[in-house]
Structure 1
Amino acid sequence: MPRSSLGKVELIVDTGHPLLNRTVDGFLKIGTVAVVRSAAEDVYAMAQKGSVSSNSVEHSLKKMCKEGAYWGAIAGTYVGMEYGVAKIRGTYDYKNAMIGGALTGALVSVVSKSKGDKIVVDAITGGAIATAVELINYLT
């Protein structure tokens, strides 16, 4: 089956510690995806409107930075949590994803000033999403 590619860009950041290396890698990868998604939405909106102003470009750039930093921070936190759990448990399996996702979900919820049951729901959601992704990756 024919394949095409836009190319491959590799960026290696070596902080000297595997935990930090993975965290930075997760931040950069998912942060980049969030920036591109935000840019695509804004370009589409500008195309529909039929005009581009310096104000809309400035708003778009701010939104791209905010989205990239937000999703990158969540991804970096998750990757770091999963790695830390794996090191503590001494094994690498789906349970690390589940625990790392739950801890990340709870932490994001607490940082966004959620309270009580919302923190628990976010922890369960984070654990469920991370576990599902891990199991899907295992199956493919």
Structure 2
Amino acid sequence: MPRSTLVGGFSSPRVDLIVDMGNPFLNATLDGFLKIGTVAAGKVVAEEVYGVVKRGSISSNNFEKSLKKMCKEGAYWGTVAGVYVGFEYGVERVRGTRDWKNAMIGGALTGAVVSAACNRNRDKIVMDAIAGGAIATASEFLNYLT
């Protein structure tokens, strides 16, 4: 059976914004907030541009709604990312080692905290903690592949 391989590799662009808050924990948390918040805002922009193209027009009312949605999504996902990065950093400092377990624990804590802030159902909080830990661990393993 014929086989083909890919020669070379994929790499993502690296964007760093240096904001010194005077504390490594705060620096990491703010960095996560800004990066993921920007991605979420960009997602909303792409969705809204698609909507404008589909409708064929834009109004000032639609533009204002789009801007509010962009800020809301950016703030929400940026906050979740900041909480996750903060937890992961804290777990790394407490454990004294840098490995995938920090991501798992940080993701689980983030899932639980974000879920607890939104609802009071214990089963939902536990399920969100499990999902957060699983997603963070999978992301960490994917980072090791690249």
What's the RMSD between the two structures over aligned residues? 1.8
1:60 aligned partner: 66
Task: State how far apart, in whole Å, the 2-side matches of 1:8 and 1:110 are.
Answer: 33
**What SS does the corresponding residue of 2:135 show, helix, strand or coil?**
helix
Pair 1:94–1:36, CA change in 2 (3 A): same
Superposed CA deviations along residues 73-117 of structure 1, whole A, max 9, x for unmatched, are 000000000000000011110000000000000000001124110
Task: State how far apart, in whole Å, the 2-side matches of 1:53 and 1:118 are.
Answer: 40
Q: Is 1:21 aligned to 2:21, yes or no?
A: no
2:109 aligned partner: 103
Q: Is 1:50 aligned to 2:60, yes or no?
A: no
Question: Deviation above 4 Å: which 4+ runs of structure 1?
Answer: 7-10
Pair 1:130–1:10, CA change in 2 (3 A): closer
Q: Percent identity?
A: 66
Task: State how far apart, in whole Å, the 2-side matches of 1:17 and 1:56 are.
Answer: 40
Task: State how far apart, in whole Å, the 2-side matches of 1:11 and 1:107 are.
Answer: 27
Q: How many residues align?
A: 137
Correspondences of 1:1-140 after superposition (within 5 Å)? 10-140=16-146
1:4 aligned partner: none
**Which has more radius of gyration?**
2
Deviation at 1:9, TM superposition (A): 5.8
Pair 1:9–1:89, CA change in 2 (3 A): closer
Q: TM-score, normalised by structure 1?
A: 0.93
Q: TM-score, normalised by structure 2?
A: 0.89
Question: Which stretch of structure 1 is more off in the superposition, 27-36 or 108-117?
Answer: 108-117
Which segments of 5 or more consecutive residues in structure 1 lack a partner in the other structure?
2-6
Task: State how far apart, in whole Å, the 2-side matches of 1:91 and 1:9 are.
Answer: 26
Task: State how far apart, in whole Å, the 2-side matches of 1:114 and 1:12 are.
Answer: 38
